[in-house]
Structure 1
Amino acid sequence: MPDRIRIESLELSSHIGVPEEERAAAQRLTASLVLEPIRAIPFLDDRIENTVDYFAVCECVKALSLARPRHLLETLAQEIAAELLARFPLRSVELELRKFILPDTAFVAIQLRRERAP
């Protein structure tokens, strides 16, 4: 198994939903991420610049979720994965994005995995 960084249930706010009324107020979302860094843990030399700064990843995801209104959870999930691969030294990103909107459900979610282009 490759070395990975896991971020579980990051709290987000986003103006998201198909009806305009749903997008009017920010909603609570959570994101869980599994990040595969380009550089393996044995080669980090205990230096933050050699790894993926997970604080910076969290701040990036939070900012992106608030950047603009969206209709689809799928759109936000794709944008998060693409931005993380563009900004951080990652081989791959796995993401589960949860939305707490439907009655009689704990949540709805989108799961995806994206890899850096070769």
Structure 2
Amino acid sequence: MEQIIVEGLEVFGYHGVYEQEKEEGQIFVVNCWIDTSFAGAIHSDDLSNTVDYGNVCLFIKKYFAENAHDLLEKVADELATSIMYAFPGVQKLVLEIKKPHAPIPMEFANVGVKVEKAWHQVALAIGSNMGDKEKYLTDAMEELISDPNVRNVIVSDYIETEPYGYVDQDKFLNGAATIETLLSPEDLLAFLHRIEEKADRKREIHWGPRTLDLDILLYDDSCIHTKDLIVPHIDMCNRMFVLEPLMQIAPGLVHPVRRRTIYDLYYMLKEKENA
């Protein structure tokens, strides 16, 4: 991944806790490091095929001119997110904002904050076995697509499968989706739970019937083990109803623990089931 660098960009704004800062404003210094791909620009030598750092600078200047917040932490987070939304070619951004004239009653070189944002690659399992199953799945995907913190949503075909674990229930409609998201694993999980709640999801029987089930299978190459979330999904390698639709849309994704692609895991499970 290549990088575009902007350093020492001076902008004027009214961010600060104290009334003098709010009324008189001050100079801020912005640095940012943008991870992106140069491939399109190298082959075409065309500005439209890269992230235009001139427009990034103007965007930052405009943000400072039109917004005012008490805390620099708020400024940095909001500005970084806005840049990610506005410039699709930005894969990852490190943004640093310095406040050289902060009202501190002593000598100092500088004070500031730094934030990092990135588009994370995520694989999801989706399923339903109650009511209008296809509508539940389709509505959930539309919720994802409409959220600004999610992009590049790719959804597999839906397949009908027998229930897993608790078998005294209707057949499932299962699928998979890959997305890119700015959300942390915890925030993404909370978002998925809100979508499930809109579909009146109940958690009464383990592996029991449900209107909607949204599971995080993979999040970049992260390994997460908390009370609420385990990634990679603990049983995904044993579930054909997970691997088959994921194989359709992302066969090259790598399981960070098994160090095998979805393609490999699919055919390994297929061979095991046919043995």
TM-score, normalised by the number of residues in structure 1: 0.91
Offset at 1:43?
Answer: 2.8
Q: Determine if the alignment matches structure 1 residue 94 to structure 2 residue 94.
A: yes
Unmatched 5+ residue regions in structure 2? 121-179, 181-275
Point out 4+ residue stretches in structure 1 off by more than 4 angstroms: none
**Which whole-Å deviations, capped at 9, do the CAs of 1:20-60 have from their partners, x for residues lacking one?**
222111210000000112xx223322111100011100000
Q: SS of 1:90's equivalent? A: coil
Alignment of 1:7-86 (within 5 A): 7-37=6-36, 40-44=37-41, 45-86=44-85
Q: Deviations over 1:58-83 (max 9, x none)?
A: 00000001112210111111111111
Q: C-alpha root-mean-square deviation of aligned residues, in Å? A: 1.2
Distance, in Å, in 2 between the alignment partners of 1:42 and 1:86 is: 21
Percent identity over the alignment?
A: 26
Conserved 8 A contact 2:40-2:50:
no
Letter in 1 for 2:114: Q
State the SS of the aligned residue for 2:2.
coil
The runs of 5 or more residues in structure 1 that have no matched partner are: none
1:99: how far off?
A: 0.2
**Structure-2 separation of matches of 1:68 and 1:94:** 20
Q: Distance in 1 between matches of 2:6 and 2:55?
A: 12
Partner in structure 2 of residue 111 of structure 1: 114
> Which protein, 1 or 2, shows the higher relative CO under an 8 Å CA cutoff with sep ≥ 6?
1
Number of aligned positions between the proteins = 115
Of structures 1 and 2, the larger Rg is shown by 2
